[in-house]
Chains A and B, each alone.
Chain A
Amino acid sequence: MYAQALNTVTEVSKDDPAKLAAFQARIDAEEKIEPNDWMPEGYRKTLQRQISQHAHSEIVGMLPEGNWITRAPSLKRKAALLAKVQDEGGHGLYLYSAAETLGVSREELVDALHAGRAKYSSIFNYPTPSWADMGMIGWLVDGAAIMNQIPLCRTSFGPYARAMIRICKEESFHQRQGYEIVMTLARGTPAQKKMAQDSLNRWWWPAIMMFGPSDAASQHSDQNMKWKIKRFSNDALRQKFIDATVPQGHFLGLTFPDPDLRFNEATGHWEHGEIDWSEFNRVVKGEGPCNRERIKARIKAHEEGAWVREAALRHAEKRAARKAAARIAAE
C-alpha cells in the first residue's frame, strides 16, 4: 500500500517490440514473472522503486509506533505493540528481499533512502504525540494498507506477490488491534474519549491522502496497470476505504473532521470534502512535521550499527581463514 501514491516514472521501453508483446501476453494470461525471466527495463526499474519504497515505508513506520513501546499503558498493549512493530520490521525485510531479486542490494536501497533519493509513505511523517495515535495507526493506516495489499497479492512479479501474501497473513491482527485500542478509549473516561477524537481529527485526512492523488492527475498509472504492478486506481481504493471506515468510526460515537462527509443513498457511497493536495505535496517534498527526524533516526541507527556489522563480517573472515589454514595444515 505504502507505494500506492508513490508511483514514479515508468520509462518508455527501448526494448524489442516482439519481446515486449510476448511479455505483455504473459501478463495478460496472469502468468507470474520470476526474477530470471526477461522483463522490460521499465518494468524492472518501476518494481525496484515500488518494492523498495514499500519496504522503506515499513521500516520508517516502526518509528512513530516505536515511540510508544516504553509508555504503552498496559502490559498487554506493550506486548501487542512490540509484536506489531516487530512485524513491520519483518515486512520491510520480506520486501527488501523481493527487491533484491531484481538486481539491487539492500545496502544500495537503504543508501538511497538515507540520501533522500527514495521515498516512503508520507503518512509516517506525522508525529504520534498521543497513545490514541497507536489506535489510529492500526485502524486507519493499516486499514488503508490492507485495501491495497490484498490486490497486490496478485501482482505480476512473483517475489513481490509472495511477499505480499505473507504480509497479508500477518496484517489482520494489526488493524484489529488498532480498532480495539480506539474502541477502548471511545468507551472509556471523558479524557480518553477526547484523546481518541483528537487523534482521529489529526489522522483522518493524512490517512485518506495515503491513496495518492486522483489517477487523472497521474500519467504513469496506465503502464503500471497494464503490467499488473498496480491493480486498482487510487480513487477506487480510497472510496472503498472511506465506505468501510466511516461506519466503524460512527459506531464508536466518533465524528470525522469533514463537514462535507455525507452518505449518498443513490450511489451507496460516502461523499467527502476536497482533499488538500497541497499538504500532501508539501509533506512528500520534505515539509512534513517529522520528515527530517525520521530519516535522521534511520541514519543514526545505521551509522551507530556500522561497527557491529563490521565486527560480524571481520569475525566471519577470520573464521574462514582459520578453517582454510587448518585444511592446508591437515594435507
Chain B
Amino acid sequence: MTEKNMPLWEVFIRSRTGLSHRHAGSLHAPDAEMALQAARDVYTRRGEGLSIWVVPSGAITASDPSDKDALFEPTASKIYRHPTFYEVPDEVGHM
C-alpha cells in the first residue's frame, strides 16, 4: 500500500513590524491550519516571527528568469520541480 504524500507548503515570515514577509523554507502539513502551526514550531523557535504566511507550494507561480539564453529550466512556471506539485487536489490548497 503506497501512502499518499503529505502536501508541501512554502513558509513566509515577517519578523518585525515594518518589514515584509521573507521566504523561510518549506514544510509538510495536511492542511492550512496545521501548516501554520508547524511553521511556528519549525521556523520561529527563536522568536523570529510576528506574522506567518503559508502557501501550498504548487499555488505559487514563478516568472521566467529574465535572460532566456542564460540557462533556465522551464518547469511550467512552478517555483521548483517537485513530484507532487501536480497531484495535490486543488481543494486542499484552498482550505
Contacts and interface: CB of A to CB of B under 8 A. Distances in A.
Interface of A: 19, 22-23, 26, 35-39, 86-87, 90, 93-94, 97-98, 100-108, 159, 162-163, 166, 170, 306, 309-310, 312-313, 315-317, 319-321, 323-324
B73 A107 contact: no
A323 B73 contact: no
B45 A310 contact: no
B31 to A, nearest CB: 4
Interface of B: 3-8, 25-28, 30-31, 34, 42, 45-46, 62, 65, 70-73, 75, 79-84, 89, 91-92, 94-95
Contacts of B28: 106
A316 B79 contact: no
A168 to B, nearest CB: 13
Contact of B80 (A35, A108, A317, A321): A35
Given A36-B62, A312-B34, A103 B81 contact: yes
A61 to B, nearest CB: 17
B95 to A, nearest CB: 6
Interface of chain B, main secondary structure: loop
B53 to A, nearest CB: 16
Contact of A103 (B26, B27, B83, B91): B83
B25 A163 contact: yes
Given A93-B42, A312-B34, A38 B27 contact: no
Contact of B72 (A36, A97, A166, A323): A36
Contact of A38 (B8, B71, B79, B80): B71
Given A36-B75, A310-B3, A102 B46 contact: no
A313 B84 CA distance: 14
Given A37-B65, A320-B89, A320-B91, A93 B27 contact: yes
A309 B6 CA distance: 8
Nearest to A95: B25
Contacts of A107: 3, 5-6
A319 to B, nearest CB: 6
A19 B83 contact: no
B34 to A, nearest CB: 7
A26 B4 CA distance: 38
A37 B6 contact: no
A35 B73 CA distance: 9
Contacts of A312: 6, 30-31, 34
Contacts of A163: 25
